[in-house]
Amino acid sequence: MDMSNTRHPVNLALIGFMGTGKTSVGRLVAEQLHFQYLDTDETIQLLTNRSIADIFSKDGEPAFRALEKNLVEELAAQTKTVISTGGGLPAHSANLESLKAHALVVCLWASPEKIWERVKNQTHRPLLHDADPQKKIRELLAAREPFYRQADVLVNTDIRSVREVVQQVVHQFRLESSSR
């Protein structure tokens, strides 16, 4: 783990591609740490009273990214919160830097094959409404990999159950808290 001594993360942020389990893992991690749980997609939907799909189709992706950026700036005021982020959020360096200032950033990693297995029966993600969604997953994942790799901790979810991933994430956060 690459944590400088000057950092004191009070929150835990989960980043990673669609279908890596950020929501299910995040909720369980929050329970175990007795933290609040906040999902950036859910929060944007609550604040705008619109679905992500509606924002993408009527206003376009850049409008959605601007909403994400504004929300990330506000998250700096949170404490004791598990923040689960939309898959594209850390692909903007300013967002990642902002999260790192107050959160231990954990990336949930999965192979394109596993991701496809997990998302193929879901319809709510506009970026996967594509003629060739498997190719889209491979392309987006390759483009985002350099950002995901900047996380403090990388957890491979291909080889672990949700329960094991949760244990791993909680363990890493406790290690970090006790090493201060």
Residue (126 or 133) nearer to ligand S3P, CB? 126
Interface with ligand S3P, residue 125, by CB under 6 A: yes
Contacts 24+ apart (CB under 8 A), 157-160: 157/16, 157/20, 157/21, 157/108, 157/109, 157/110, 157/114, 158/109, 158/110, 158/111, 158/114
The b-or-e profile of 78-88 (16+ CB within 10 A means b, else e) is beebbbbbbbb
Count of residues interacting with ligand S3P (CB under 6 A) = 10
Give me the least distance between CB of 178 and ligand S3P, in Å please.
Answer: 30
Q: Which stretch binds ligand S3P (CB under 6 A): 3-11, 26-34, 84-92, 131-139?
A: 84-92
- How far is residue 119's CA from residue 101's CA, in Å, rounded to a whole number? 31
Structure tokens given for 78: 């949170």
Helix (H), strand (E) at residue 56: helix 52-59
x/- map, 14-53, ligand S3P, by CB under 6 A = ----x---x------------------x----------x-
Looking at residue 60, the DSSP 8-state letter turns out to be: -
Q: Applying CB under 6 A, does 112 fall inside the site for ligand S3P?
A: no
Spatial distance between the Cα atoms of 129 and 116, rounded to a whole number of angstroms: 13
Exactly one of 21, 88, 90, 112 binds ligand S3P (CB under 6 A); that residue is: 88
Is residue 12 within 8 A of residue 152, CB to CB? The reply is no
Name the one range near ligand S3P by CB under 6 A: 92-100, 119-127, 131-139, 168-176: 119-127
- Binding of residue 87 to ligand S3P (CB under 6 A): yes
Q: Which stretch binds ligand S3P (CB under 6 A): 24-32, 81-89, 131-139, 152-160?
A: 81-89
Interface residues with ligand S3P (CB under 6 A)? 18, 22, 41, 52, 86-88, 125-127
